[in-house]
Amino acid sequence: MTLDAVARRAGVSLATASRALNGTTRVREELRQRVRAAADLLGYIPNAHAQALASASSNTVGLICHDVGDPYFAAIAGGVMRAAAEQDVLVMLASTFREPAREIAYVSMLRAQRARAILLIGSGFQDPSWERKLAAEVTPYIRAGGRVAVVSRHRNLRADAVLPENRAGAAALARALLALGHREFGVLSGPRELTTVSDRLAGFREGLGEAGVTLRPGSVVHGAFTRDGGYAAARDLLDGPARPRPTCVFAVTDVMAVGALAAFREAGVRVPEDLSLAGFDDIPLVRELTPPLTTVALPLTAMGESVISLALREPRGARSRVLRVGGEVVLRASTGRPSPATTPLWDSC
């Protein structure tokens, strides 16, 4: 997009448009606002910005995640930092705390600061309004020479991507749990609007469906994508109407599973003797739990290294690249064969 196009859109001369945007000469406020509105509408970025991005004169990369305190994001960020250090690239890290509007604001700030690349390592939101606002920031940034790469599925966003096989991994986990003899399941799910949640829940249903097993009404409980969210969802599941009671619970993220384990212990439900529990991600913490958690292992650190490599690749390709990352089911002591005594004990809680 050119300055000439902005001037035509605003109905002013090229010189007036230039003065309004660079601030070197005073321009009437009404004209200045008209020019800025046209520039925003057309996604125009001043030439100096475009040249800085195109020449990669900035050696700063912005990394936006949902919560760096979450071990999942911390592990991926660690991979990004390690790869960046090898290339003498500075990483600016920001947590959105799962607020979609804050993510858009951070992208805008990094764009204004001429970051060389922007990395989004949180799940996308299935929200058309959010998608439009994100595209409005990302598209002109890329057009001007910036780089964008994401981890997890983002609908309708043209960017390089590292995509964990969430759906396939959850389906494989379902098959493994079925092989242990389980037929009654509960699911501790995250917010419905997150693509990661949607994909993992769909994959788990798919794996169960292959054996003719379905999730009963009331057996899927949604909560925050956090330890506290897992704890609350587990309590809701214990107190809920699902009958017969599940013999195995799948938490769509390990962090939620950690909270669920605490809730089950408080309720006197033994894992795995009374109830099996499984998660997804294989964050380092879950290997140290008592009992260690069955999960779907993702190479989190390597995913971080891969996403920054995609963003900084040379030469830059015209088409977005997608790197798909498979997950591996790891059976640990938190899951076992269902016990005949499971249902009566749970009903007494």
SS3 state of residue 294: strand
| Statement to judge: residues 83 and 128 lie in one domain | yes
Q: What is the pLDDT of residues 135-166, one digit of tens each?
A: 889 888 888 888 999 999 887 788 899 999 99
Angstrom distance (rounded) from CA 257 to CA 196: 16
Q: Please give the pLDDT value at position 328.
A: 97
Beta bridge partners, 120, equal 64, 150
- The pLDDT-based confidence of 55 (bands split at 50, 70, 90) is very low
User: Which run of H or E residues covers position 33?
Assistant: helix 29-42
Q: Return the closest-CA partner of residue 264 out of 224, 286, 233, 243.
A: 233
Sheet with 60-65: strands ordered across: 90-95, 60-65, 117-120, 147-151, 160-164, 322-325
52, part of any domain: no
Per-residue burial over 234-266, b = 16 or more CB atoms within 10 Å of its CB, e = otherwise: bbebbebebeebbbbbbbbbbbbbbbbbebbee
Asked whether residue 82 falls in the same domain as residue 186, the answer is: no
| CB-based burial label for 123 (10 Å; 0-12, 13-18, 19+) | buried
Per-residue confidence (pLDDT) for residue 344, from 0 to 100:
40
Q: Which helix (H) or strand (E) holds 91?
A: strand 90-95
Same domain, 149 and 294: no
> Domain check: are 10 and 69 in the same one?
no
CATH of the domain at 70: 3.40.50.2300
Q: Which of 276, 97, 99 is nearest to 183 (CA)?
A: 276
242, 336: one domain:
yes
Q: Which of 251, 255, 298, 225 is nearest to 66 (CA)?
A: 225
Helix then strand then coil, in percent of the chain rounded to 5, is 45, 15, 40
Mark whether 215 and 251 lie in a shared domain. yes
Together in a domain, 111 and 177: no
In a domain, 237, yes or no: yes
First and final C-alpha spacing in the chain:
65
Cα–Cα nearest to 68, from 41, 96, 90: 96
Centroid of chain to Cα 90: 22
| Residue 198 sits in the same domain as residue 117 | no
CB-CB neighbours of 156 under 10 Å: 10
Mean pLDDT of the chain, nearest integer: 88
Does residue 227 form part of some domain? yes
| 197 in the same domain as 338 | yes
pLDDT over 70, % of the chain: 90
The range of the structural domain enclosing residue 71 comes to 58-164+300-326
For the chain, give the longest Cα–Cα distance: 82
Beta strands at 60-65 and 295-297: parallel, antiparallel or unpaired? unpaired
Closest CA to 257 of 284, 288, 225: 225
CA atoms of 187 and 247, how far apart (whole Å): 11
Residues 63 and 107 in one domain: yes
Residue 50 lies in a domain: no
Q: Establish if 231 belongs to a structural domain.
A: yes
Each residue's pLDDT tens digit, 182-232 = 999 999 999 988 999 999 999 999 999 999 999 999 999 999 999 999 999
DSSP character string of 113-131 = TT-SEEEE-S--B--HHHH
pTM: 0.80
51 found inside a domain: no
Residue with tokens 């050696």: 59
Q: How confident is the model at residue 5 (pLDDT cuts 50, 70, 90)?
A: confident
In a domain, 220, yes or no: yes
Q: What is the pLDDT of residues 89-131, one digit of tens each?
A: 999 999 998 888 899 999 999 988 889 999 999 888 888 888 8
Residues 259 and 173 occupy one common structural domain: yes
Overall number of domains in the chain: 3
pLDDT at residue 177 is higher than 60? yes
- Residue 45's pLDDT band (cuts 50, 70, 90): low
Looking at the fold, whether 201 and 342 belong to one and the same domain comes out as yes
Query: Do 83 and 55 meet the contact criterion of CB atoms below 8 Å apart?
Result: no
pLDDT of 171: 98
| Residue 285 falls inside a structural domain | yes
